Amino acid sequence: MLLAASGVLLIGVGIYFLFLRPALLPEDIRYMSLTPAELQSIGPRLTSWLTHVFRVMGGYVAATGVLALTLAWTSLWDHRPVAAAGAGIAGGLSIGLMAAVNFMIHSDFKWVLLAMALVWAASIATLVRESAVAPDERPGL
C-alpha cells in the first residue's frame, strides 16, 4: 500500500514538472547567483531549454510513479525478493537521489522530497518485514 502511495505522489510530481513548473523558480536564480542583467541576457534561452528539460524529467518521474503503482499491485503481492530489490534500487535512484540533490542545493522543496523518499523506503521496509512472516500469516492473504 505504501509503494502505491509513493507511486501516486510521483505521478503528481511528474504532472507538476510536465505542466505547472515554471522554467526558473526563485530558488534556481538564488542558486545560480545571477544578477538581474545576467538573467535578462540568458533568461529567454535558458527558459526555453529548461522547459524541454523539465518536460522530459516530468515524464520520467510520472513513469516511475506508474511503474511503482504497477509493481505494488502485482509482483509485490507475491513477496518476491527480486521485486523488493528492484523497488528499493529504483527508489534510491529516483526519489532518493532527487531528495539528496535538493538538500545539496538547499532547495525549498527538500523536506517534501525527503518525506516522499521516506514513504518509498517505508514501503520497502514493510515489504521486507512482511516477507519474513509465514505466508499464511501475511496481511491481506
Q: What is the pLDDT of residue 18?
A: 97
Residue 97 and residue 101: Cα distance in Å, rounded? Answer: 6
3 state SS of 22: coil
Domains of the chain by residue range = 2-132
pLDDT single digits (tens) 14-29:
999 999 999 999 899 8
- Cell numbers 513513469 label which residue? 63
Nearest to 25 by CA among 107, 129, 135, 110: 107
Percent share of the chain, pLDDT over 90: 61
Reply yes or no on whether the pLDDT at 88 is more than 60: yes
Across all residues in the chain, what is the average pLDDT?
Answer: 90
Residue count of the chain: 141
Rounded CA-CA distance 83/86 in Å is 5
Q: How far apart are CA 14 and CA 59, in angstroms?
A: 6
pLDDT at 105 over 80: yes
CA distances for 109 relative to 36, 65, 125, angstroms: 24, 19, 24
pLDDT of 51: 94
What average pLDDT does range 105-113 have in this prediction? Answer: 95
Which pTM was predicted?
Answer: 0.81
Mean pLDDT, range 119-132, rounded to an integer? 89
- Helical segments of the chain, H only: 2-15, 26-32, 36-73, 81-91, 97-104, 110-131
